[in-house]
Amino acid sequence: MSSNVFKTELFIPAQAAAETEAIITKWHIGKGDEFNKGQVIAEIESAKSTFDFEAPCDGKVDELYYKDGASVPFEKPVAQIITSDESMRSSARPDHTPAAAESVEIPKMAIVADTLEPSVRTISLLGFGICLPDRIVKNEELLVHFPNITEDYIFGVTGIRERRWAAADVKPSDMAHEASRKAIENSGLKPSDIDMIIVSTTTPDVVMPSTACILQGKLGIRGVPAFDLNAACSGWLYAISAARGFILSGVAKNVLVTGVDMQSRVLDKTDKNTCFLFGDGAGATVLSGTQKGHIIKEEILSADSMGLHMARREYPGYEVPVNTSTFDPWVRVDGKALFRFATESFSAMVRELIIKSKWTPEDVRWVVPHQANGRIIKAAAERSGVPFERFYLNIDRVGNTSCASIPVALSEIEKGIQKNDKIIFCTVGAGITAAGLSIEW
C-alpha cells in the first residue's frame, strides 16, 4: 500500500430502491486485516437477496462497526478502512439503486393523479361491512396430521389460535354479498347510488363471469361496470386505489370495493406451512368523490416478480377438483423468505406513508396491517417507528383472511376511532405485491 494513505468508511451496496437495511451474515475480515479490491469481505442478506460484499479498493481494516448477525441501515457505514485509493477520498453512502439487472426496483407510488390539482376532488371512504363465517376452527382440530406439534407451538409461530371457515354450501360471492350490503347500508347510500363494483379475490366463484358481476346480480345493481382484481392479500388496497383513479377521472362517483377470499377449500391439510394460517372472510367499503367520509391521504402500490415463489397457487377457483395428479392444486408458501420480505415491506410502507402524509410517528393512532402472521407484524412494528401497541391485531381469532383482513380488523376498532384520527393500512401478498394507504378519519 502506498505511503499516501487515509481513512474512509465503507457502506453496504443496496440491492433495490425499496430496501432500507440488510443483515451482515458473516464478516470475512477483521481489524488489522488487509484486503484487495474485489475481494469478498462479507456475506450480506437483504429482504430480496443474499449477496457477497466485495471490497471497492485495496486497503486495511481499521475498525468494524457491526458484528456478525447485525441488522444495518444502508445509510450507515459498516467499517472504517485505511487505503491509498484516491477514488475513495470522496466516498459516501452509495446511491440507493439496484446493483444488478435482476434486482427489481419497487415503485414508490402508483395511480396518483399528478396532473390534477389536489383541490379538484377529495376521495373518501364511507361505510364498511364485513362477513365472517360462523364456524370456528381451533388449532386443536388441525393437529390431527401433526402429532409432534402442539397448539402452543402453532400460536407461537403464527399468532393464531382459531380461524373461521365457511360452510360447504357457501360461495365466495355469498360472503361478498353480505359484506357489500352492510357497507352500502353503513355508507348512507342506496344500491342504486353505486356506479362501479370492484371485487378483489384469488378464489372467485368461477373463472368467468367475474365474481363482481355475480355480486352485482345479488345486489340488484344493473348497468354499472363490474370487474375482478387479483393482487392476492394486497387486493383490497389495490382495488381502493383503482376505484380512486376511476373517481378522479370522472368515470364513477361512488365505487363499491369488496375483498373476499375462501382459502379453507384450497389448503393442503398436511402442509404445516399453510394449513394453520388461513381463515375465510369478506370486507367491503364504498369510495366516494361526492360524499364526506374518511379522507384518503396517500397511497403506495408495488409489485416485485422476484418474489413469485414466496406465495403461489397453480389452480384457479375456490375448490379443488378430484383428479389432481398432474398439478399441485394447493396454496404453497415459502415462509422464511416471505417473513423477511413482509417484515421489511410493512415497516418501510409505514415509514414512507408517515412522511408522504406529512405526519410524525406520534400522530398515528392506528396501524391496521394485513393479518399475515403475528411474528411478522411484531417484527415490522419494531422497525416502523410506531409503537407495537398501536398495531391492531385480530389474527389470533380470525387467522389470515387474505385481502379481507384489513377491513375485518378495522371493523373491530371502528367504533373507538375518533374524528381526525390518523390511520395507516399496509399489506403484502403473493406476486409479490405490497400496498399501503393513509387515511384521516
Q: Which amino acid is at 311?
A: A
The residue from 139, 230, 370, 426 that is catalytic is 370
Between helices 405-413 and 235-248, what is the axis angle to 10°? 90
Instruction: Please state, in angstroms and as integers, the Cα–Cα distance from residue 364 to each residue in 148, 289, 351, 357, following that order.
Output: 42, 24, 11, 10
- The span from the CA of 307 to the CA of 295, in Å, is 32
- Kindly state the DSSP code that residue 237 receives in the 8-state scheme: H
Q: What is the largest CA-CA distance in the chain?
A: 84
The residue from 139, 230, 373, 400 that is catalytic is 400
- The span from the CA of 418 to the CA of 434, in Å, is 27
The residue from 233, 275, 403, 426 that is catalytic is 233
Give exposure, 315-352, as e/b (b: 16+ Cβ within 10 Å): eebbeeeeeeeeeebbbbbebebbbbbbbbbbbbbbbb
- The span from the CA of 258 to the CA of 212, in Å, is 9
Cell numbers given for 373: 402472521
- The span from the CA of 309 to the CA of 337, in Å, is 9
Residues 6+ away with beta carbon under 8 Å from 296: 122, 123, 124, 125, 240, 244, 287, 437, 438, 439
- The span from the CA of 281 to the CA of 263, in Å, is 9
For 187, half-sphere exposure in the C-beta direction (CA atoms, 13 angstrom radius) is 32
What is the four-CA torsion angle of 213, 132, 126, 376, rounded to 10 degrees?
-110
Active site residue 230: no
- The span from the CA of 400 to the CA of 404, in Å, is 9
- The span from the CA of 193 to the CA of 93, in Å, is 53
- The span from the CA of 435 to the CA of 370, in Å, is 10
Active site residue 139: no
Residues 6+ away with beta carbon under 8 Å from 339: 373, 375, 376, 379
- The span from the CA of 90 to the CA of 94, in Å, is 11
Active site residue 400: yes
Q: Annotated active-site positions, please? A: 233, 370, 400
